[in-house]
Amino acid sequence: MSLILDDLYAYLCANGFGPSTAWPVYEGFIPNDTDQVVALFQTGGYPADTLGRENERLTFQVRVRAKRLSYAQCYGTWLTIFNLLQDAQQTSGSPQFLVGWYLCQAIHYGPLMFNDDLGRTNMTMNFRIVKAAEGTT
């Protein structure tokens, strides 16, 4: 069974983010001692769309945090990730897409922005995504 956060982590790492970059990615956690960070959180989802509950209809949030007073840098990174995820689908090629998932769509457009207690710019985005039953994609 493939977990959405693991697949999102691999997808973002294959497309320029991750531990060896300026924008490390974390799953379900955001460290307080790192200024520039991308964090992934599963946020629930929707009821199954079939009687047998074959399709997973999940939601997740991506949070981008930049240094204090770095709104433009945070927005640029937020937008890059937004564009990577919006309408990403199971396929091959470059950039690497989310294999096994389809219908990745933003729940809202534009970042939800706030500053944390250290004045660092944070921007979030929320998505819905569907994973079809094995053998149907």
CA angle 87, 89, 94 (to 5 degrees): 100
Higher pLDDT, 17 or 134: 17
Which domains can be identified in the chain, with CATH numbers?
4-131 (3.30.2000.30)
Report field, pTM of the whole predicted structure over 0.75: yes
Per-residue pLDDT tens digits for 46-91: 877 666 666 778 899 999 999 999 999 999 999 999 999 987 765 5
* Residue 73 per-residue DSSP state: H
Contact call for residues 14 and 95 (beta carbons, < 8 A): yes
